[in-house]
Amino acid sequence: MKTKVQSLYLLIPALLIISSCGNNDQKKAGAGAADQPQAYPVVAVTAQSTDLEIDYPATLEGIQNVDIRPKVDGFIERIYVDEGATVKKGQLLFSINAPQYEQLVRTANAAISSAEADVNGAQLQVNKTKPLVEKDIISKYDLDAAQLTLQSRKAALAQARAELANARVNLSYTRIESPVDGVIGSIPYKTGSLVSATSVQPLTTVSNISRVYAYFSMNEKQLLDFSRNYKGANLAAQLKNIPAVSLVLSDGTAYAENGKIESINGLINTNTGSASMRATFKNPSLLLRSGASASVRVPQPVENAVLIPQKSTIDLQGKKFVYVVDAKGTVKNTEIEIMELTKGNFYVVTKGLKAGDKIVLEGFQSLKDGAQIKPEEKPADSVYAELQSK
């Protein structure tokens, strides 16, 4: 019995030694796993030529906005169109009841008849006097007087005809026709309303919106950058080199037709510090209307632009940082400078990175400056394509 107890006491230390050795091996294995660098996706930045886009608030106007005003006083007798209707040049819009102009036409016609009778009478007097003068029965003075009377009567006839023409013109003003092709605006006056040439509001406005002007402004700095981006000896040459611009409607959708910048104001407004610009867009479907708001999207070409994904940056105290990975897999928290304009989901880096540098793509929230990582490089083309599709 004593021998068994002694054997048991000898066995326990041996088991403790074996157990201790096993625990040490597990700790070493765990420490070795902790020392292994963690894998992070990285991408090599590239330099490429691209177009940035900047939106400018704009106001739309038709190429013609014509106020329709009466030229004579009277009551609106009839309205031939409705608000929003499409009209053609020469189409009748309104008729005005103004009987005084009809009376003037009748009076002018009567005056012409009277003047024609006077001319005929004076002509007869000349015809009667002329042979008597030739026979020396009466003096030549009588013939001269008769001819002067005839001349006076002809002048009176010409004046009467002119008055008739004026009366007819005034009468024609009672029928108001559209001066251009376009779309009818609001009609503030209704049938029976008294209108005149001095009325504050026009009868309506006809807008020719077959083409639409988009007016927008650039501040002085933007205008200088804009002018430097396009070659040309003068403004006209630069305008030809400006690429097509697009239009973003008020609901955020893009308009189907591209436009062209055709005019840049030569003066900078001293009150606003900006210059007005005008882009023209075709409007075959008449979707665009005068007075509407939109944004003109202007492309800005950038050569050798270094683009990085926005998700790969860190914001710290108003500055941008990225984790740059060196050849040994060591990361460095690097400050960068970017342009105000963005390219979709990308920033354009102006300082701090160069083509070929590798940055941590994402998942770096717990990463520290100087840490070792296991880079898993992603093809730049696939990364850019994936982000552009979002």
pLDDT in tens, 286-311: 899 888 999 999 888 788 888 889 89
Taking the domains of the chain in order of start, what are their residue ranges? 38-50+303-388, 55-61+205-302, 70-96+174-201, 99-172
Q: CATH number of the domain at 99-172, please?
A: 1.10.287.470
State pTM to two decimals: 0.62
CB-CB contact of 24 with 360 (8 Å): no
| Range from 23-27, 53-57, 259-263 carrying the lowest mean pLDDT | 23-27
pLDDT band at 389 (very low <50, low <70, confident <90, very high): low
Q: What pLDDT does residue 175 have?
A: 94
| Region 38-50+303-388: CATH code | 2.40.420.20
Write down the pLDDT at residue 47: 87
Of 152 and 389, the one with more pLDDT: 152
Query: Which pLDDT does position 20 carry in this prediction?
Result: 52
Sign, CA dihedral 96-97-98-99, equals positive
Q: Does domain 55-61+205-302 have CATH number 3.30.70.20?
A: no
For 254-286, b/e burial (b = at least 16 CB within 10 A) is: ebebebebeebeeebeeeeebbbbbbbbebeee
Closest of 305, 335, 340 to residue 320, by C-alpha: 335
The Cα–Cα gap between 366 and 316 comes to 15
Residues in the chain, how many? 390
**Domain spanning 70-96+174-201 has what CATH number?**
2.40.50.100
Query: Helix (H, G, I), strand (E, B), or coil: what is residue 33?
Result: helix
